[in-house]
Amino acid sequence: MSAAEASPDAPHVTSPEPVVVAEVRRGVRQLLATHDPATTARIDFLRAQFDAGLAWVHYPVGLGGLGAPRALQSLVTAELAAAGAPDNDPRRIGIGLGMAAPTILRYGTEEQKHRLLRPLWTGEEVWCQLFSEPGAGSDLAALGTRAVHVPARGTDQGAPAGAGDARAGEWLVDGQKVWTSQAHLARWAILIARTDPDLPKHRGITYFICDMTDPGVEVRPLRQLTGEAEFNEVFLTGVRIPDDRRLGDVGEGWRVARTTLMNERVAIGGGSVPREHGMIGVAARAWRDHPELRTHDLHQRLLRLWVEAEAARYAGQRLGQQLAVGQPGPEGSAMKLAFARLNQEISGLEVELMGEAGLAYDDWTMRRPDLVDFTAREAGYRYLRARGNSIEGGTSEILLNIIAERVLGLPPEPRADKDAAWKDLPR
């Protein structure tokens, strides 16, 4: 009996209708017939793939999809790869694909969707995330970046923000964000800022799309333990954001941001990989390559981590099934938590398996990498970089609270500041 059959609460994932499968296959054949990958420029092929509805098959028609079951995306990917078609380098644009796109799809206007989703998917426009701040990381709702509404000329100067013409005027943004991946490469950012300090911290926030090329946006590198500057701090000084770049209603930014955060945790920890790939595959190779360093204790640890990595891999597949039938839930937090712990334990084991060679790390260059590639680097890099896995995308401590409250149904921790106005909170 399968796990889906054993659990009455599990989402029922049915096979796509044959007619839908045939329609998707026909779309792939037509795309390849009109845009031969061998002779078509990469960006032209990707644009054509989006326009054919084969970028995200589960998205609506005209927005890169066909309104088909999400499970059919793997069919499209496999057939295009077999034909030698280029991909959109998903690891480089993961923030756009995994966080910005689903949020735009759910809360964006039709104009926003049609303007932003195509270049996001093709990789022509890179995205970053302006959420965390120096004083608001784990407690993100305590953020202090301010956005003040400036009404358009001719509108009621005394009306509250967002009243009257819902798409009039602009917002003046000031503040600082931190730990921003790819800010040095990004054209756009998803941004949350405080628009009403008189409300409790979760209620006075609004969600925006920020143009990273606008005046007043300054990006500075943050050098890490690895020697690289993969992350950035971003200073926003008098940045003007038109109101038509707002996502969701004024003051509803926390609700919109939760959609982003759930998708982020799925993107970080919920990916499905083949057996013995990723970090556990690297550690297993180190075991095979260094028989002289094997001990009974290391063998037992490797076996335990291999089993846990397999369990996480199957859980990731299960999470993918849940995504195929609805929105991501708090289960993504559990996957991200497991991902962080496994990466740290496996990287530590690999260093021990390699002996003195595991300590070598000879590249302390101040680099600005486009993406993080764990498996292509040396063991010392993996060990150091994995320390950040329990912080990025939500700290492990916060994720444990989410799992306790929203998955296990345990009573929430007392929150004395929940109903107090943000301006009255101590900082």
pLDDT by residue (tens digit) across 368-414? 877 777 777 888 888 988 988 888 877 888 888 888 888 888 998 88
- Is 189 within a domain? yes
Contact 244, 290 (CB under 8 A): no
Same domain, 334 and 371: yes
> Which of 190, 217, 251 is at the close of a domain?
251
- Residue 344 and residue 321 share a domain: yes
Listed residues 227, 251, 275: the one ending a domain:
251
Domain match, 238 and 273 both: no
Q: CA 323, CA 168: separation in Å to the nearest integer?
A: 36
Instruction: Answer whether residue 218 is part of any domain.
Output: yes
Tell me the C-alpha distance between 247 and 182, whole Å.
21
Question: Which of 35, 65, 87 finishes a domain?
Answer: 87
Predicted local distance difference test score (pLDDT) of residue 325: 55
Question: In this structure, what is the dihedral angle of CA atoms 139, 141, 146, 151, given to the nearest 10 degrees?
Answer: 170
Residue 419 domain-assigned? no
Q: Note whether 303 and 390 are same-domain residues.
A: yes
DSSP assignment string, 76-105? HHHHHHHTT-----TTTTHHIIIIIHHHHH
Residue 230, φ and ψ in degrees, nearest 5: -75, -30
Instruction: Give the pLDDT confidence score for residue 5 in this predicted structure.
Output: 35
Name every residue whose Cβ is closer than 8 Å to that of residue 274 and which is 6 or more positions away in sequence: none
In 111-242, at which residue ranges do the beta strands (DSSP E only) sit? Answer: 127-130, 146-150, 170-178, 188-194, 205-211, 217-222, 231-242
Instruction: Determine the residue type at 60.
Output: P
- What are 223-273's pLDDT values in tens digits? 888 888 888 999 999 999 999 999 999 999 999 999 898 776 555 544 556
Are residues 75 and 116 part of one domain?
no
Q: Is the pLDDT of residue 87 over 80?
A: yes
Helical (H) or strand (E) element with 246: strand 246-247
Strand partners, 246: 208
364 located within any domain? yes
Residues 304 and 245 in one domain: no
Q: How many helices (H) and strands (E) does the chain have?
A: 13, 8
Confidence grade of residue 321 (pLDDT, cut at 50, 70, 90):
low
Length of the chain: 427
Q: Is 51 in the same domain as 145? A: no
Which structural domain, as residue segments, surrounds residue 82?
Answer: 24-87
Number of neighbouring beta carbons within 10 Å of residue 187:
15
Q: How many domains does the chain have?
A: 3
Nearest to 330 by CA among 259, 229, 426: 259
CATH number of residue 390's parent domain: 1.20.140.10
- In a shared domain, residues 69 and 145: no
Res. 166: pLDDT tops 60: no
CATH (domain of 205): 2.40.110.10
Strands 246-247 and 231-242: unpaired
Tokens of 260: 């982003």
345 within some domain? yes
Q: Is residue 281 located within the same domain as residue 361?
A: yes
> In this structure, is residue 413 part of a structural domain?
no
pLDDT of 376 reads 73
CB atoms under 10 Å from CB of 297, counted, come to 9
Which residues are CB-contacts of 120 (< 8 A; sequence separation ≥ 6)? 93, 96, 97, 100, 101, 104, 127, 188
Q: Are residues 242 and 353 in the same domain?
A: no
pLDDT at 163 over 70: no
- Phi then psi for 126, rounded to 5 degrees? -85, 145
- Do residue 235 and residue 336 come from a single domain? no
Q: How far apart are CA 215 and CA 236, in angstroms?
A: 9
Q: Which residues contact 263 (CB under 8 A, 6 or more apart)?
A: 98, 99, 102, 103, 328, 332
Q: Are residues 221 and 263 in the same domain?
A: no
Q: Is residue 344 part of a domain?
A: yes
DSSP code of residue 361 = -
Of the candidates 204, 122, 118, the one whose C-alpha atom is nearest the C-alpha of residue 161 is 204
Parallel, antiparallel, or unpaired: how do β-strands 127-130 and 188-194 relate?
Answer: parallel
Paired residues of 208 in beta bridges: 191, 246
How deeply is 242 buried, as exposed, middle or buried, from its count of CB atoms within 10 A (0-12, 13-18, 19+)? Answer: middle
Range with lowest mean pLDDT among 162-171, 182-191, 247-256: 162-171
Predicted TM-score (pTM) of the model is 0.82
378 annotated active-site: no
Mean pLDDT of 357-375: 74
Q: Out of 264, 345, 350, 352, pick the active-site residue.
A: 264
Q: Is residue 403 part of a domain?
A: yes
What is the predicted pLDDT for the residue at 45?
A: 98
Rounded Cα distance, 161 and 101, in Å: 26
